[in-house]
Structure 1
Amino acid sequence: MRRLTVVCGLVLCLSLALVGCASLDRAGDHRLHASYSRDFDLAYRVYLPEGYTRKDQRWPLILFLHGAGERGADLADLERTGLPKLIAEKKLDLPFVMVAPQCPADRWWDAPALATLLDHVVATYRIDPRRVYLTGLSMGGTGAWMLAAEYPDRFAAIAPICGRTLPLRAAPLKDMPVWVFHGDADNVVDIWNSENQVKRLREAGNTKVEFTVYPGVDHNAWDRTYADKRLYEWFLKHTCRDDRD
């Protein structure tokens, strides 16, 4: 997977306008002026798979949400951990487009801002909208739960890692394929968060929930999760059409 870096500022109010954005699906710096109710500046980095230059193919997309430690204004910080780190170190070669936004230093993940970004990425890159996947770690795991609950029809499957879950509702995710990961020695986000959400999903009738617990593992449940290609194989088993029929 080769890296394509795109810096994109998002200012959210009531409409969406694009300035100077020709050929946005290749390297370059671009600015997206979007709006809905409150300002939220969001930069992001895009990683493209080998073969993306072929014009006759649409690609699956992974939206990755980082943890609290990667918030800020330097996109290089994204590659300190998680999926961007593995890709930057050439330890993964995945058949996905991957987009990794960076949350500003003084903010938490904002679902409408992320949905606006997702709309833009799907429209700009050659993405198969039936194969959009969501994952995140720690604060990003919390963001993944939140975003999927707000926009369940946008994702074919989600994989939250060691995220907080309260007061999230389970009902919007009753048909969503979900694979949850947590270490049972986590002293930052107690494993109860994942255990409780898995329980509520199953009580809501979700039969597509998988839960992996790492014995003796602390908060870092993401290194082994993202290094395991079974996660990406599992993603590709699901499409929005198949899983919503």
Structure 2
Amino acid sequence: MLPSAGLLALALVTSRAPKQELQFLLHVPKQYTAAQAWPTIVYLHGKSQSGNDRSLLRRYGLPKRLNKEFRFPFLVIMPQCPAGQRWTDPEAIMECVQKVQSKYRIDPARLYAVGFSMGGRGVFRLADHYPGRFAALVTIAGSSIEKEIIDGGRLKGVPVWAFHGEDDAEVPIEEVRAQVTDYGLRTGPAFLSILTGKGHDITKVMDRNDLYDWLLKWRSNLNSSWPQR
């Protein structure tokens, strides 16, 4: 059962593969109406929120913001990675999206992915697996961009905005700077915001409204129908 507008609720989806079974939270704007198609964010959390305790999802980042902000103007799909695993099954994540799309009007041209920490690497894997479907990506304290993803060229033209703490001890800023530069030269528009004096925990970045304004500047070429893989 998917939620009514304005609620965060739990749903369960199983990958057809099946590699991962994912439960997810869904935010539906209080002002939702089927008269229009809605921009949609897929949010992938970091390692500490993995497991089957959905309260962990609400503890940090975008889900925490949505606990109180019922009119946040996006559909937001927030799967939970199983304990001890990583975001390695893009098909399971996309099934979450398709489950939501079966009830709510997702704008196929305004589908975005946002990831924190290990979720930062996850958004690249997701977008690489489904080329052309994501209009823009945001990584926050993200793990490294895999070289084969940049080399593969399937994200050509997809813009990326990376946020990273200057003093991040888990993912060195020098590594991120080099990869974002490489992405910008060979793949698509790339922007890096370095947070002076900050470490790995920069989840408050998701409280910035300019992040979401930036997402809405970008559209993919999927303007009419929802694609099936």
Superposition TM-score tier, normalisation by shorter sequence: 0.7 to 0.9
CA distance in 2: counterparts of 1:194 and 1:122, whole angstroms = 34
Does the 8 Å CA contact 1:65/1:100 hold for their aligned counterparts? yes
Gaps of 5+ in 2: 224-229
Aligned positions of 1:1-245 closer than 5 A: 2-10=6-14, 12=15, 35-36=16-17, 38-52=18-32, 54-90=33-69, 93-109=71-87, 110-164=89-143, 165-170=145-150, 171-204=153-186, 206=188, 208-223=189-204, 225-241=205-221
Deviation at 1:205, TM superposition (A): 5.0
CA distance in 2: counterparts of 1:89 and 1:4, whole angstroms = 10
Size of the alignment, in residue pairs? 215
Give TM-score scaled by structure 2 length: 0.86
Amino acid at match of 1:97: L
Amino acid at match of 1:203: L
Amino acid at match of 2:183: L
Does the 8 Å CA contact 1:163/1:193 hold for their aligned counterparts? no
Does the 8 Å CA contact 2:43/2:114 hold for their aligned counterparts? yes
CA distance in 2: counterparts of 1:89 and 1:51, whole angstroms = 14
If asked which structure has higher relative contact order (CA below 8 Å, sep 6+), I would say 2
CA distance in 2: counterparts of 1:132 and 1:57, whole angstroms = 15
| Secondary structure in 2 matching 1:7 | strand
Deviation at 1:68, TM superposition (A): 0.2
Deviation at 1:57, TM superposition (A): 1.6
Structure 1 residues 174 and 197: CA distance shift in structure 2, 3 A: farther
Does the 8 Å CA contact 2:137/2:161 hold for their aligned counterparts? yes
Deviation at 1:242, TM superposition (A): 8.8
Over the residues paired in the alignment, what is the CA RMSD in angstroms?
A: 2.0
Does the 8 Å CA contact 1:173/1:201 hold for their aligned counterparts? no
The percent identity for this pair of structures is 34
Gaps of 5+ in 1: 13-34
What does residue 18 of structure 1 align with?
A: none
What does residue 24 of structure 1 align with?
A: none
